[in-house]
Chains A and B, each alone.
Chain A
Amino acid sequence: MKQATIRMNMKHAALATLALVSLAGCGGGGNGDGDDGFAFSTASASQYVQIDSHAMPEAGTALIEAANGLGGTALRDSYNSMSPTQRGSSFNAEIGASLELFHTALDDDLTGLGLSPATPQLALSQGAPLVVPEVMRYNPAQPASFPNGRALSDRVVDITLAVVLLDLTAQGQGVTTFADLPLNPAGNDKAFLPAFPYLAAPHDS
């Protein structure tokens, strides 16, 4: 609320100085020469405290929080504050417990559907490379398609569900088993743009 008010005031201030800016001839901006009148902090990266970290879709939510049920915890804050190498294997037990919970509950249901669930061991070997370390890998020589990078339209939730739930070596099932249905929505609510900046315009109301 407070921030919104500040921004509103800034907007008024901006309007008030618009004429001056135009006169000065520096209203165009965007040529990237750094001479555009904006004041950016020159503090080095080491002067910032890392608050959030993110690579793979919902990885932290699914695998760090799982064994703790709902809600963000100090453990999650700790996870977010670290680099992949700092984490090392220290969250593996947490991730393994999450996968085990998951399979204990779901395996009989998957079997009932004619699907082959991954054994806990297989689930770990299929899923862990995606999140330990939590780095998004992208080979630009191949088309971006999650988990090779991540395109805007990739059905990442369904793909991730398949990787952690299903035996991907079993006949007739693979990473796109759920995405092919799809289980979750097939795509975004707005069409993406064919060119930079690619993301759809915002919703205004």
Chain B
Amino acid sequence: MRSNTVSILATGLTGGLACLAACLWPLTPGNASDHFEAPLVQADPAMDITDLYLFGGSAGKTVAVINYAGLNQSLTQPTQSGTYSDQALYTLHIDNTGDDVEDLQVHVRFGRDSGGNWGVQVTGLPGSDGPLSGPVEQVLTDGSGNMLFAGRRDDPFFFDAQGYLDTLSSGDLMIRNDRDFLAGMNCTSIVLEFDTAAALQGGSALGCWATSGRLQ
């Protein structure tokens, strides 16, 4: 039933979707992130943010997921380890007054111990008294119930990028709902769960964006 509907769409949208592919979601296999990115970002997977998610966690908590080091020309998929850099700073910017200027910054950094093991640290997590840190690939919790995880995960983004490519080359709409270009691929994820009221600071909504920075 559904694929019939898609076929009908496919028949009708032929030429237009070729442009859609070219113009809107330009992707090529092995060279895509955001999932297609600019030169500075492609060169450094640790800097390459692919997605931001924002949703409710356990009672009174908000979850923010920052994914990076996903589909990137400098990585082979599926990745076999997380991508960590002690030269990187990841920031979740939070506006809680509706003026699109950040009121809070949550900072995430990676560092190693004397044995060379990677650890992760978050500072400024709303509702936390101080920094929360520990090994990567583990769920870390502080006394307030805030949580932190950093590690390699399945890339949760789904999209028929191949359909766009085929559309481009053939001139026919070939977007399919049974083909997920990101299936089988990983990313490195930073998952934060924090106190919603502490993030809102009396406001009614959050405005968020994520950035990556490299130490000068």
Q: Which residues of A contact B (CB under 8 A)?
A: 3-4, 7, 9-11, 13-14, 16-18, 20-21, 29-34, 36-41, 43, 45, 47-55, 57-58, 60-62, 65-67, 69-74, 76-77, 79-80, 83-85, 98, 101-102, 105-110, 112-113, 133-141, 143-144, 149-152, 157, 161, 164, 181-190, 192, 195-205
Contact = CB atoms under 8 A, between A and B. Distances in A.
Contact of A85 (B40, B49, B54, B101): B101
B198 to A, nearest CB: 12
Contact of A181 (B2, B128, B143): B2
Contacts of B54: 136, 138, 144, 149-150
B141 to A, nearest CB: 7
Interface residues of B, number: 129
Give the top 4 A-B pairs by smallest Cβ distance, nearest first: A48-B213, A38-B119, A72-B38, A30-B134
Interface string B4-33: 011011001111111110111111100000
A106 B13 contact: yes
B49 A54 contact: yes
B26 A43 contact: no
B50 A54 contact: yes
Interface string B103-119: 00101011111111111
Given A47-B216, A53-B49, A14 B116 contact: yes
A84 B100 contact: yes
Given A40-B109, A137-B206, A109 B55 contact: no
Contacts of A30: 134-135, 138-141
A39 B160 CA distance: 41
B166 to A, nearest CB: 13
A105 B13 CA distance: 10
Interface in B143-161: 143, 147-149, 152-154, 156-160
A32 B214 CA distance: 24
Interface string B186-216: 1001010100100010001111111111111
